[in-house]
């Protein structure tokens, strides 16, 4: 987060973030060999798709930084770049706390628990790249000072420590009932036809079935899953009607 020399002109943006940066940190196809079997059991390559995304915001993201004692730029004087881990490798869990169906389940996101340290390293990389972008024209001509993490935070260790303290969700969790080979994968809940293992006439058609999180906002993929499920049901209904 930076403080600007002058306020952002009014009426120049539709959502306070009209630009985004997509970056690749790891070598090509790195996921084939450097991910835990639970996350990538088939050793699928990931090509060179982005693994870090940053929105460029004209508003302050100061909820967590202010708790650490950082100042907040005056209204209109903030510029933020927010590194996101597009395909995090940490795995959380959703679990029941009661036999009462009206009691909500508990959710543990499991932040920064991946054994490879991929998630933490990606945030460190994103913050360092954000600084490089901010040093380029025309950004540098607008910037008065870096507010957070601040010029005193320079080493990877210090940046990582800062990132852990200010990290938060962007509300795209998926995969609580993931698709997979239900006969071989103990963590798979639905098969390729969206059928729940061990339960007759029950399918799941939402973001819970994703084996891994998509590299974009999941909404369109969820809609695609719903359309596929509808086609499956219609096809099966038609086949049944012919009998």
pLDDT attached to residue 241: 67
pLDDT attached to residue 223: 97
* pLDDT top residue among 137 and 240: 137
CA distance 177 to 87: 17
The last residue of one of the domains, among 117, 142, 166, is 166
Pull the structure tokens for residue 39. 């996350």
Does residue 6 have a pLDDT over 60? yes
- Tell me the per-residue pLDDT of 140-159, one tens digit each, with 9 for 90 and over: 999 999 999 999 999 999 99
Domain match, 161 and 175 both: no
The last residue of one of the domains, among 111, 138, 166, is 166
Catalytic residue among 64, 161, 168, 172: 172
Domain match, 23 and 60 both: yes
What's the average model confidence in pLDDT over 182-202? 94
Half-sphere exposure for 229 (CA within 13 Å, toward CB): 19
Specify the pTM. 0.88
CATH of the domain at 104: 3.30.410.40
Tell me how many domains the chain contains.
Answer: 2
pLDDT attached to residue 11: 77
Domain match, 224 and 136 both: no
* pLDDT top residue among 126 and 43: 126
- Tell me the per-residue pLDDT of 44-92, one tens digit each, with 9 for 90 and over: 888 899 999 999 998 899 999 999 999 999 999 999 999 999 989 999 9
243: confidence class by pLDDT, cuts 50, 70, 90:
low
Range of the domain at 35: 2-87+94-166
Does residue 242 have a pLDDT over 70? no
The last residue of one of the domains, among 120, 149, 166, is 166
Does residue 19 have a pLDDT over 60? yes
Return the residue matching tokens 């933020």.
Answer: 80
Cβ atoms of residues 203 and 229 within 8 Å:
yes
Domain match, 234 and 157 both: no
Return the residue matching tokens 């012919």.
Answer: 242
Domain match, 135 and 202 both: no
Cβ atoms of residues 92 and 108 within 8 Å:
yes
Q: Which H/E stretch holds residue 56?
A: strand 52-57
Examine the residue annotation and report whether 172 is marked as an active-site residue of this protein: yes
Domain match, 188 and 216 both: yes
Q: Strand order of the sheet with strand 2-4?
A: 19-23, 52-57, 78-85, 2-4, 143-146
Domain match, 62 and 180 both: no
Does residue 12 have a pLDDT over 80? no
Q: Which H/E stretch holds residue 33?
A: helix 31-34
Does residue 115 have a pLDDT over 80? yes
Domain match, 31 and 124 both: yes
Local structure of 15: helix, strand or coil: coil
Domain match, 178 and 118 both: no
């Amino acid at each position: 987060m930076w403080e600007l020399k002058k306020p952002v002109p009014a009426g120049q943006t539709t959502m306070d973030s009209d630009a985004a940066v997509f970056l690749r940190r790891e070598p090509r196809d790195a996921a084939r060999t450097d991910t835990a079997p639970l996350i990538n059991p088939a050793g699928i390559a990931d090509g060179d798709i982005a693994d870090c995304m940053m929105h460029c915001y004209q508003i302050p993201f100061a909820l967590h930084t202010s708790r650490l004692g950082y100042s907040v730029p005056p209204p209109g004087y903030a510029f933020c770049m927010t590194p996101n881990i597009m395909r995090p490798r940490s795995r959380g869990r959703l679990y029941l706390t009661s036999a009462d169906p009206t009691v909500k389940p508990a959710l543990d996101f499991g932040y920064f628990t991946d054994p490879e340290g991929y998630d933490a390293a990606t945030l460190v990389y994103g913050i360092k790249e954000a600084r490089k972008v901010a040093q380029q024209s025309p950004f540098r001509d607008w910037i008065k000072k870096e507010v957070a993490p601040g010029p005193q935070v320079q080493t990877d260790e210090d940046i990582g420590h800062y990132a852990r303290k200010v990290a938060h969700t962007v509300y795209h969790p998926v995969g609580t009932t993931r698709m997979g080979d239900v006969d071989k994968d103990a963590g798979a809940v639905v098969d390729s036809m969206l059928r729940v293992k061990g339960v007759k006439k029950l399918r799941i058609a939402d973001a819970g079935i994703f084996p891994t999180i998509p590299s974009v906002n999941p909404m369109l993929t969820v809609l695609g899953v719903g359309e596929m499920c509808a086609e499956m049901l219609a096809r099966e209904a038609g086949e049944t009607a012919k009998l």
